[in-house]
Structure 1
């Protein structure tokens, strides 16, 4: 065992989007930052459809130029909205027509390449990243924390830091080590997904939008179709586990569900799977607290809702943007109330997303989306939320999400 104790100002667990953005922001403040990543990059990850709000946080970190420069070579698809289909009903949201100020366009990205792009840029700006290094133990110190780390040769060593950020995503390193996990109040759902050569020849299909498709019989089952610029797409289906056959082979299961919807079956009749399909179940998660003594949880390491409106990366980047200046102040000796200044503001946007995700599954928000006599101003407010601006409290549908949505639903269903 290597007992040499290495010291950094901040150690970040995970080199995904929130880790890369937090690392870059903290390096800009002059701090010595180490990122410990369990895997090697590029590596597969789900969550390919970004929201325009993401572009704000990437620009803050100085990572936006790298994204733009690499978009075309990596097959990233320009995105300006979302399209919806339900048993022949069609609707769309244009993110450039929204209530909130800020970007209205973004990209649909292959996460393996996107995450590596951000991590590489973070390294170029001064963050140190160690791949295939796994955090296996955490010890709280008066002035920071000590981590026990195992490298790719299975050798163990110790690292201390004045502050720890957990950006490990679904790995949820600190929640597991510190017994912070608690059940999500969302029902357990499963997703089956893969990348395909989509073979779409329908000229009316808009590749600039994610397609969210409702199952023709069961309104709680939905599909995503995320096109990329090279003729491939990420395709998946989400439902409660009881809807899927036990021990189902992922690609067989996914193709079976695609054939159940006449619109998708026709649109994707020429599809060819690229590699293996995958499945994930019980991904919704929560924690007892997002912060503790000298640590904070970012993105999915804290709470993950559901993939339906692609909020995961947005929440992750928002968390990095919120936490970095607070950690900077903390390291400079200021008193920082991380609950008031980080947990509560972050949770406010998450709770707004939760309102619309919950209403999607019970069908109420679907009725709003497919309502034919839409008020333009209201639609712009809803567009802003679906574009990721869930922290803009000038938007009445953010500030009073439950009450405003309930009123809107009653009008659409009357």
Structure 2
């Protein structure tokens, strides 16, 4: 009862035919490019500089007050509220270090200047400067600009897009991981119905059962990302007397409950 499925031509010329295709190509964004689905992501273009470091924190006596090496540390620049940092601990004294902000502020003057530029920014945040005073680079610093991405639709005849292959907002709240998992959980049972349907009316409605509900949660995350960069959310998160219930609700959304209406 199935119509002919999508045909894929590989680089070596071989052709594959599938009953249904799930694009989980992440930032490769295979079907978004092939099907010309890409559109304006509606977020400001930003840039990240990042690399691995031998953080040297174990040798500090003692580390900065309240610092726990088994947690991810997020920091904001003292005078540029739309510039933020991550410090993600790994084993053996290594960590991932990055800075994110408006492209015009973050972009290095030259390709080989990324290392210098990252450390200039790190040294401007007092807590990070103290924590990483003995740190040294463990690899070359990379840059990634204009990383936000969106598509005009998350499904089409014989295919659906999962995770970053469809939409990527921003690294700040790890929403990409949540959206990837949520999209896969929503798509899997629909594909099961797609492959066992014998009549068109038995096939899932990918618009109402996949795309629309998935985008509702993505829009919640988009509002959080926008509010982080325009200071509405940072003002709440960094408030000296945080309201317990508000803190609980923000934490719930950032833990992945963006679809809990």
Q: Above 0.5 in TM-score?
A: yes
Supply the distance in 1 between the matched residues of 2:159 and 2:69 (Cα, whole angstroms): 41
Query: Which residue in the other structure is 1:166 paired with?
Result: 23
> Which consecutive segments of 4 or more residues in structure 1 shift more than 3 A?
none
**Aligned mate of 1:340, from 208, 217, 220:** 208
Q: Find the aligned partners of 2:123 and 2:243 in 1 and give their Cα distance.
A: 35
| DSSP 3-state at the match of 1:266 | helix
Q: Distance in 1 between matches of 2:260 and 2:186?
A: 14
Measure, in 2, the Cα distance between the counterparts of 1:215 and 1:280: 19
Q: Deviations over 1:55-106 (max 9, x none)?
A: xxxxxxxxxxxxxxxxxxxxxxxxxxxxxxxxxxxxxxxxxxxxxxxxxxxx
Once the two structures are overlaid, the 10-residue window that deviates more, 377-386 or 319-328, is: 377-386
Residue 359 (structure 1) aligned with residue 216 (structure 2): no
Q: How big is the shift at 1:246?
A: 2.8
- Partner Cα separation in structure 1 for residue 138 and residue 99 of structure 2: 16
Structure-to-structure mapping, 1:106-117, within 5 angstroms: none
Indicate if the aligned counterparts of 1:172 and 1:301 stay in contact, CA closer than 8 A.
yes
**TM superposition score normalised by structure 1:** 0.58
Per the normalisation by structure 2, the TM-score is 0.91
Shift of 1:372: 2.3
**Counterpart position of 2:110:** 247
| C-alpha displacement of 1:378 | 2.2
**Inter-partner Cα distance in structure 1 for 2:186 and 2:50:** 32
Number of equivalenced pairs: 249
Deviation per residue, 1:20-57 (Å, 9 max, x gap): xxxxxxxxxxxxxxxxxxxxxxxxxxxxxxxxxxxxxx
**Which of 143, 147, 168 is 1:279 aligned to?**
143
CA RMSD of aligned residues (A): 1.5
- Cα distance in 1 for residues equivalent to 2:23 and 2:42: 22
CA displacement 1:190-238 (0-9 Å, x = unmatched): 1000011111131741123221111111111111111123321111001
What CA distance in whole angstroms lies between the structure 2 residues aligned with 1:385 and 1:230? 32
* Structure 1: unaligned runs, 5 residues or longer: 1-140, 394-414
Aligned partner of 2:10 among 149, 162, 174: 149
Structure 1 CA distance for aligned equivalents of residues 214 and 52 of structure 2: 32
Quote the offset at 1:373 in angstroms.
2.4
The aligned counterpart of 2:35 is 178
The answer as to 2:68 corresponding to 1:206 is yes
